[in-house]
Structure 1
Amino acid sequence: MYSKCDIEEKARKEIVRADVEGIVPVPLDRIARALGYEPYKFEGSGDVSGLVDYENKRIYINGNESPQRQRFTLAHEIGHAVLHPGQRIVDYRRNIDAPNTPVEREANQFASELIMPRERFKSAWRERGGNVYRVAAYFGVSHAAASIRAKDLGMELP
C-alpha cells in the first residue's frame, strides 16, 4: 500500500515527465502516451468503466459515459498502470464510485492528484470563491469529484 504522500509524488512525477505542468485541464492522453499507453474508447455496457491492457499497452475507457467520467476513469487507469503494474484489474463503475479495496482507493487517490493537483486545486478554489461547480468545470471533472477533492484537502464546502 502507498501513503497519500507517495501517491501525490508519483502523480506529480507523471505530470512532469509528460511535460504538462500548469496545463488545465490536464491532458491525460499525453500522460498515458508518455507512459507508453494508448487510450482507447469502447462502446460498452454501463458496468465497465475502464481497464488497462498491459500486454498491448492500451487503456480502455467506456465511451458511453460522460466526458467528465471518462477523464476520471482514464486518470484512474493511469493510476493502476503506475501503482499496480501488471495487475489485471477491470474497473466496474461501482468500484470507482465506491472503492472497496486498497488498490481501488489508491487508483482513485492517484486520479484526483493527477487531474486536480493539490496546489492548483487550492488556487482554483480560492479564485472561484469555493464554488464547486466552477472548480469542477475548470478541471473538467464532475461536481462529485471536485467535492470529494475539496473535502480531502480540507476545503470548506458551502
Structure 2
Amino acid sequence: MTNEINPTPFDRSVLSTLRSLIPNRDVHSLAEAKQVAEHQAIRLLQLHGIDDGPIPVEFIAELPKIEIELVEAPVSGAGFWNGNAWIIQLNKHENYRRQRFTLAHEYKHIIDHNRADGLYLGSKDLPAEEQAEHAADYFAGCLLVPKMLLKRAYYGGMQRPSHLANYFQVSEVAILVRLRQTGIVEPSPRCQPASTPFSRSWQYRMNRRTRLQGV
C-alpha cells in the first residue's frame, strides 16, 4: 500500500508531483496515457534541473526508498514493493544502455502505483496490462531521449542514429523509435520494432541483491 511507504519529503514531492499529472478520471485511450507519461518525464527532468544529455538516470537510483538489484533473470526487469522499499531488478547480463532504459521503464510503474486501473482500461486490440507496458516504454523514451534535446541534437547536425545513440546513451533502436515518435523522420515499417513487454505476470523475486554499478 502506498501509505505504508513513508517517503522522505523530497521523495514525496517527486512522486506526488508526477502522480498529480494523472487525471482524476478514467483515461480511455493509450494515446492519452502516453501524453500523461510524456508530461511526467518532462516534469521529472525539470524537478532535477536536467536540460542536457545524456540524461543521468542515476538520479532514480538515488531517490529514497528505491533499491536496485542486478539479477539473473529471463527478462529485462521487474519492480515490486518489499515492505520497506521499492525494488527494481535489472538483468545483469544486459548492457548498460538497456539497463538504463529498463530502470526508467520500471520507475514509471512505481509512479503509476495504485493509479494503473484508471490509466489503462484496455481495448479489444490491447489488454490493459500491455497498455501499461507500452506507456512505460514511452515514458522511458521521453525521459532518456527528450523531444527538445533530440531535436536540438538532430538539427544541430548530429543525424546518424549511431551518433545520437552514443550521445543519449541508449540503443540505436530507441533512437529510431524516438525519431519517429517526435516527427523528425517519417514512420517506416523497418523503424517500428516491436516493444518488449515487461509483463507483471513475468515479474520475479530473488533473494540475492547486488548493487547496480554505474546507476
Aligned to 1:49: 76
Work out the CA distance in 2 between the residues paired with 1:84 and 1:126: 37
Identity of matched residues, %: 29
Aligned to 1:136: 165
**1:29 offset after TM fit, Å?**
2.2
**1:13 offset after TM fit, Å?**
1.8
Does structure 2 conserve the Cα–Cα contact (< 8 Å) formed by 1:50 and 1:59? yes
Aligned length: 143
Work out the CA distance in 2 between the residues paired with 1:20 and 1:27: 11
Aligned to 1:153: 182
**1:69 offset after TM fit, Å?**
0.9
1:76 to 80, 84, 105: 105
Structure ranking higher on relative contact order (CA contacts 8 Å, 6+ apart): 2
Does structure 2 conserve the Cα–Cα contact (< 8 Å) formed by 1:75 and 1:111? yes
TM-score, normalised via structure 1 length: 0.79
Aligned to 2:140: 111
**1:156 offset after TM fit, Å?**
2.1
Moved over 6 A (4+): none
Aligned to 1:9: 39
From the CA coordinates, give the structure whose radius of gyration is larger: 2
Work out the CA distance in 1 between the residues paired with 2:45 and 2:63: 10
TM-score, normalised via structure 2 length: 0.60
The 1:64/1:127 distance shift into structure 2, 3 A limit, reads: same
Which structure features the higher share of strand residues?
1
Alignment of 1:28-39 (within 5 A): 28-34=57-63, 36-39=65-68
* Partner-residue secondary structure (3-state), 1:48: coil
**TM-superposition CA deviations, 1:77-111 (whole Å, max 9, x none):** 11111124597xxxxxxxxxxxx810100000100
Does structure 2 conserve the Cα–Cα contact (< 8 Å) formed by 1:32 and 1:78? no
Q: Structure 1: which 5+ residue stretches go unaligned? A: 88-99
Which structure features the higher share of helix residues?
1
**TM-superposition CA deviations, 1:15-70 (whole Å, max 9, x none):** 223x241242212121343363122222x13x211111223322111111011111
Q: Structure 2: which 5+ residue stretches go unaligned? A: 1-26, 117-128, 187-215
